[in-house]
Amino acid sequence: MKIAIFGLGYVGSTAAGCIASQGHTVIGVDVAQAKVDALNQGRSPVYEPGLDDLIAAAHADGRVLATTELTDELDDCDLAIVCVGTPSGVDGAHNMSFIAQVTRNIAEALKPDRAKPLTLAYRSTMRPGSCENIIWPILEGALGDKAANAVELVYNPEFLREATAIEDYFNPPKIVIGTLGGTPSAAMAALNEGIEAPVFEVGLREAEITKFVDNSWHAVKVAFANEIGRVCQNLDISARDVHAIFKSDTKLNISAYYTRPGGAFGGSCLPKDVRALQYIAADTGSATHLVDSLIRSNEAHKHHQFLHATEGLEPGAKVLLVGLAFKMETDDLRESPAVDMARKLLEAGYDLDIYDPQIEPENLVGQNLGYAYAFLPQIDDLLVSQEQAERRNYALAISTNRLIDTVKVKADTLVDASRIP
């Protein structure tokens, strides 16, 4: 198939590399010239282990290219996948402006007299009802009565974890395909051919709410574990032993990964989707007291980690923060708890160095770039190389995501903020 992918962030770039590796032809579309240039040079626009190799191979075979504006090429496409961002708005709801704009661009470029409908699949997280109440009216406004014959509307959430995204793409926990009436989509079946996973063909709204349920549940597990961890730490109880007992119940407690007391949750999905679910609950008169407490609990945990890490340390002391991204093997700084840790350390008057092997200021693009400089404008002066980190003497080294094992640090005190003892 010939497939257009709108939005070349972490989700879109991974999709481009994986889909092209399956033998399909991919056209990536993004307003950021730097991302387009990277793909056209056979490089990934974002850092994800193994993705550069997939894109380089596809580029060499002529199966992937990118552009800032897709027009006539859409006529030949069998499928278009929308992966643009839906960041948090000021009220917590998703900002749908990028979705609306890209939908309008697609509608204007699409010819209403196509031989067969274009399958238009959205992967961006959005409020249930968005496909019917925002996207479809835009398509109808441009295509009129011919919209139903020109477009097959699909909502297809992704379940990728940064740093393991390629493995997750080819081995997902499930495949969810939402359509009007839950009818099967031939194009989506062809896209997922050869991928073994439970397939759920459901209505659009059932598919749209999937990521809210999943990400809010993951956030619940992290916040719950950290609340228990704080109580244990303050009562001189081994949270590690308590966790070992808790996770041994694999019939009920399910996941050891999310229930391990340690770092706060962050990244581009959990915080914004929790906020959006809070907004939806308030907007619909629903009472979700636990969900409402998640962000506050997470912020409290960030401050608890800062106080615990710096206990007894005088302002002006030399501190090394190891790991700035929200998890290992990614360069994503969006809502990273480590960025908050760095900001708190600076505001408290510590002399701060930061080491993260994946962070290069000149490679930050898009929302990642905006977030980094909005919350840590000194980032260029704070980052040090591995050689510098290993050469200097520190009063305190704080590891945020277990990267400390990759660098030999000389520090009076070492705190692993990704764990609670």
Residues with catalytic function: 269
Query: How many C-beta atoms surround the C-beta of residue 413 within 10 A?
Result: 16
- C-alpha 242/C-alpha 180 separation (Å) is 47
CB 118 within 8 A of CB 148: no
| Assigned token pair, 107 | 């509608």
Pairing of strands 351-355, 318-322: parallel
Helices (H) and strands (E) in the chain, counts: 18, 12
Radius of gyration of the CA atoms of the chain, in A: 23
Q: How far is CA 127 from CA 93, 134, 418, in A?
A: 8, 10, 32
- C-alpha 41/C-alpha 52 separation (Å) is 11
- C-alpha 404/C-alpha 150 separation (Å) is 54
Query: How many C-beta atoms surround the C-beta of residue 254 within 10 A?
Result: 13
Say which residues have a Cβ less than 8 Å from residue 158's Cβ, sequence separation at least 6: 11, 15, 83, 123, 169
Q: How far is CA 165 from CA 90, 121, 144, 189, 255, in A?
A: 29, 19, 38, 20, 19
Strand blocks (E) in 53-150: 64-67, 79-82, 118-122
What SS3 state is found at 74? helix
Q: 366-375 and 337-347 are packed helices; what angle lies between their axes, rounded to 10 degrees?
A: 20
